[in-house]
Structure formats: structure tokens, C-alpha cells
């Protein structure tokens, strides 16, 4: 994975949620949001971040979550692990980042940013190598796209949940709930 947005202007002791609130949230609520994330895009955060249409966070587990919400939390957590692995890979490539001992403190952000750029360049080269050395895969037959039908416990058809693109009215709970229903419907469809 590559870094798509890097902010190196804050000390490491500052909490991620504070940096988000002061730096990234204004970008996501402004005109540049679609440029950064696309029309339906969002970021994934942990419970320390505020829920919004552009930041999806897990449900707080107070012991009363239903299966759908637990499933959503698990999917969100596993996706966030990919992000954590990216940071681990970055730190493995640039071990010096763990302890920058520089006389010119004002240059430290530039060194970190340069390392992030080099990480992305190296990731691009790895992707190219994979493209030139393809793995033989059996061809899959194209499958017809089926209409998504949701049913309640009694087997009665219910209306489809609101799609995330319809939740751009500022209410992150609508978007998260829609995502819960989509993930649950996908899970049910795979089991049948």
C-alpha cells in the first residue's frame, strides 16, 4: 500500500484524532473532499475519531451489539490492520525513522516526507515487478450480477438500505448503518 496523504507538521506525541480535527477534517468538509477521497470515499478510524460521512469508526462495544454490528466492527478492524502493516513495512524499510538524531530539527519533517515518497516509489517498483511476473490463475467464468434482495427474519422482503452516496447529508450514522447492512447482506449472500 502507498501513502495517499502525509502530514508531518505535528510532533509524534499529539493524538491522531487531534491532527485529524485540525488538519484533515477541514479538507474533507471542504471543496477538496471529492478530490481526496472520491464521491463516496471515506477514511477508517478507531473509536477515538468522530463519526462522520467521511470518517467511519467502529461501534462502541458495550456488550449489546447485534451480529451485524459485530461483523462490521470485525471488517473495519481487519481493513485497518492493512494500514497498520503499511506503517510496519515503512518502518522496516526506513529503520532510521525510529530515532532521528538531527542537529537541524527544522529539517526533520522534510526527511520524513522524503522517506514517505521513497516508500511510495519502492511500492510502485514492487507492483511493476509483480506485473512482469504474473502468477498463472485459472480463468473464472463471468457471473451474472444478481439483484440484491434483503429479507427480514420472517422471510419478508425489505427495502434496501440507503447507499453510502445518499448519506452525504452530514450524518455519518446513516452511512455507517448503510455499510453495516451492505456487509451483512454480502455475508449472507456468500453463505447461501
Domain boundaries, the chain: 16-96+170-191
| Mean pLDDT, the chain, whole residue set | 76
- Tell me which of 62-66, 95-99, 140-144, 187-191 is least confident: 140-144
Residue with cell 473509536: 47
Mean pLDDT of all residues in 90-100: 85
How does pLDDT run across 51-85, given as a tens digit for each residue?
Answer: 988 889 999 988 899 999 999 999 999 988 888 88
Predicted local confidence at residue 39, as pLDDT: 78
Per-residue pLDDT at 146: 41
Residue 164 pLDDT greater than 80, yes or no: no
Task: Give the whole-angstrom CA distance, residue 147 versus residue 173.
Answer: 25
Q: Which residues contact 177 (CB under 8 A, 6 or more apart)?
A: 161, 162
CA distances from 141 to 137, 138, 144, 152 (A): 12, 10, 10, 32
CB atoms within 10 A of CB 167: 21
pLDDT score, position 191: 60
Q: In the predicted model, what is the mean pLDDT of residues 32-52?
A: 82
- The model carries a pTM of 0.65
Counting Cα atoms < 13 Å in the Cβ hemisphere of 41 gives 12
Q: Mean pLDDT throughout 157-170?
A: 42
Q: Where is average pLDDT lowest: 38-42, 71-75, 84-88, 122-126?
A: 122-126
Q: How many C-beta atoms lie closer than 10 Å to residue 20's C-beta? A: 19
> How confident is the model at residue 170, as a pLDDT?
53
- On the question of pLDDT at 148 being above 70, the answer is no
What pLDDT score was predicted for residue 67?
93
Grid cell, residue 29, equals: 468538509
Long-range contacts at 40-47 (CB < 8 A, ≥ 24 apart): 40/164, 40/165, 42/164, 42/175, 44/76, 44/79, 44/80, 44/83, 45/16, 45/17, 45/20, 46/80
Amino acid at each position: 500500500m502507498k501513502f495517499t496523504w502525509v502530514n508531518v507538521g505535528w510532533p509524534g506525541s499529539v493524538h491522531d484524532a487531534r491532527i485529524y480535527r485540525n488538519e484533515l477534517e477541514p479538507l474533507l468538509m471542504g471543496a477538496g473532499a471529492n478530490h481526496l477521497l472520491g464521491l463516496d470515499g471515506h477514511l477508517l478510524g478507531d473509536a477515538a475519531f468522530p463519526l462522520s460521512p467521511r470518517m467511519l469508526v467502529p461501534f462502541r462495544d458495550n456488550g449489546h451489539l447485534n451480529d451485524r454490528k459485530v461483523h462490521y466492527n470485525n471488517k473495519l478492524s481487519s481493513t485497518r490492520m492493512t494500514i497498520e502493516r503499511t506503517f510496519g513495512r515503512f518502518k522496516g524499510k526506513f529503520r532510521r525513522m525510529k530515532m532521528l538524531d538531527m542537529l537541524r530539527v527544522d529539517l526533520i519533517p522534510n526527511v520524513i516526507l522524503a522517506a514517505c515518497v521513497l516508500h511510495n516509489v519502492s511500492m510502485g517498483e514492487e507492483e511493476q515487478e509483480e506485473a512482469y511476473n504474473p502468477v498463472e490463475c485459472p480463468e473464472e467464468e463471468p457471473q451474472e450480477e444478481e439483484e440484491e434482495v434483503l429479507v427480514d427474519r420472517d422471510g419478508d422482503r425489505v427495502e434496501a438500505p440507503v447507499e453510502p452516496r445518499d448519506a452525504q447529508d452530514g450524518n455519518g450514522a446513516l452511512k455507517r448503518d448503510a455499510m453495516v447492512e451492505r456487509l451483512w447482506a454480502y455475508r449472507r449472500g456468500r453463505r447461501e
